Amino acid sequence: MNKGRLLKMLALCVILLLMLSQLAYAAGPTAHAYGFTYLGDWSTDRTWVVDMRLDEGGYSSSYLHDNSASYVRYNMRNDAVFYICTHGSPGYFCCYSSSGTMTKISGNAVLSDSSCYSLYAMYNNTDYLKDMRLAYLSACHQWEIDPTYGCTETRLRQYGVDVIVSWDGTIKIPQADVFDRFAFWYMMREGYTVGTALAYAKAEVFYQFGDYGGVDHYHCSGNGDEVTTNPSNVRMIPARYGKY
């Protein structure tokens, strides 16, 4: 075989390998990380880092910003991992347009609030969220119950999500920033269970700030996966969808 032919063959092999790797990448379970430019860097930068970690963990992740509650709520149904970094109050978390128009995703349907899009209205008696392995609600109060708006964590648990990470009380932005970055590092890069990754993230926050700013009030709940019924012991890699 002459040299020219050999080179051509080699080039073809390289191209084929690249195409295959792209295909494999695209075939990873879907993940979405949502941030909002209206809230500033603390929402967008962190979401971008989480998106990167999800990609590294084998998920086919997209970083989306400035989407409305109606879009985010609809889009959740395809996700293996759902991450959102935003403001929250008991019973709902907020979605913002770039100009600051706010809409809410709540646990319960609240007819008197036109900005509210509930998980109940879209997902009650459906199995759309059963494929979700991890819902990480990086916002204040998502573990708490509001008599009107309900509770987002409870709804996600009821609708079949394997692991939900949420907080009771408020969380300070700088501490939550470190917590989320390290939690995803330990889950996606080091392969620890969700519970161990969260504990390591907690230790990192303590070492950096000398206090927690509320992030130690995290809750790891959910239905578990095919390996364990304990959500804390679920591992996020290898990447896969949730237990159906």
Q: What residues make contact with other proteins under the rule CB under 8 A?
A: 38, 86-89, 94, 96, 99-102, 115, 138-140, 143-145, 151, 153-154, 157, 168, 170-176, 192-193, 195-196, 199-200, 202-204, 206-214, 216-217, 219-221, 223, 229-233
Taking the complex as a whole, how short is the minimal distance between the CB of residue 168 and other proteins, in angstroms?
A: 6
Taking the complex as a whole, how short is the minimal distance between the CB of residue 155 and other proteins, in angstroms?
A: 12
Taking the complex as a whole, how short is the minimal distance between the CB of residue 242 and other proteins, in angstroms?
A: 16
Nearer Cβ to other proteins (207/244): 207
**Quick check: helix, strand or coil at residue 153?**
helix
Let me know if 155 is exposed, middle or buried by CB neighbors in 10 A (0-12, 13-18, 19+): buried
Nearer Cβ to other proteins (44/223): 223
Between CA 27 and CA 22 the distance in angstroms is 9
Nearer Cβ to other proteins (118/138): 138
Nearer Cβ to other proteins (78/219): 219
Sheet of strand 92-96: strand arrangement: 88-89, 92-96, 102-106, 116-118
Taking the complex as a whole, how short is the minimal distance between the CB of residue 53 and other proteins, in angstroms?
A: 17
Positive or negative: CA dihedral 35, 36, 39, 44: positive
Between CA 227 and CA 241 the distance in angstroms is 13
